[in-house]
Amino acid sequence: MGIPTEQRERLSNLHSAIVNDVTDEMGITNNVIPCTRLEALWSRDPVIGTAHPAQRVEVGYEEAGADDPRDSAFFQYLEAADEGDFVVMASPDTQVGLWGELLSTIVQENGAVGALIDGPTRDSRMIEEHEFPVWAGGHSAIESFGRVSFREWDVPVQVEGVTIRPGDVVFADYESIAVIDPDDVAEVIERGEEALDTENDVRRDVRDGDSVYEVWERYGTL
């Protein structure tokens, strides 16, 4: 089930630093992937969707069972992408292009809002032209078919040590990708909006001439 429209709109007013801070306060840890290795291809606005995860495995070019166009599980995964989904493709370290413009087009037409790819993309310029938000680890023209096997989908996966389960809420912006349990979303929004209000108050008071000591005494944060 997708994220309710109201929650999506309210989340979109936040940013990943606030989401990280409030989930820390809630005792939720190891749920944020920093954009150090994996970065946004072009998007600067937050993208919020429901995790649609899959696992790929590097197997070597000629090994039996490698990905090929007849692998129906991969096709099923692409076709199963639904309105509001956030594609998540986990993989071990690889130099091949795990994702490309045509795959982006397929899931975008099915309603997906973005993709988190644990490795390089191909056709990156064309993905940008289609305005499909993708977070990935660099670029590679090397074809994945025959080199990387599609293992399974609709299962928990790990990206950069963060576990992402089917149906988790994925919040991605240019700084980080945060993963939120659907049961925690309402509280994250409430706390996040309070934190955003406090940030705005601190900024206003600093610009009005208050010292760092005064704003710290008043709000307890910077």
Residue 187: predicted pLDDT: 98
Instruction: Give residue 165's identity as a one-letter amino acid code.
Output: R
Residue written as token pair 């509001």:
84
Question: If pLDDT is split at 50, 70 and 90, which confidence band does 71 have?
Answer: low
Residue 64: predicted pLDDT: 47
Look at residue 128 and tell me whether its pLDDT is greater than 80. Answer: yes
Q: Which range (11-20, 60-69, 157-166, 211-220) has the least confidence?
A: 60-69
> What integer is the mean pLDDT of 44-66?
77
Question: If pLDDT is split at 50, 70 and 90, which confidence band does 153 have?
Answer: very high
> What integer is the mean pLDDT of 107-124?
95
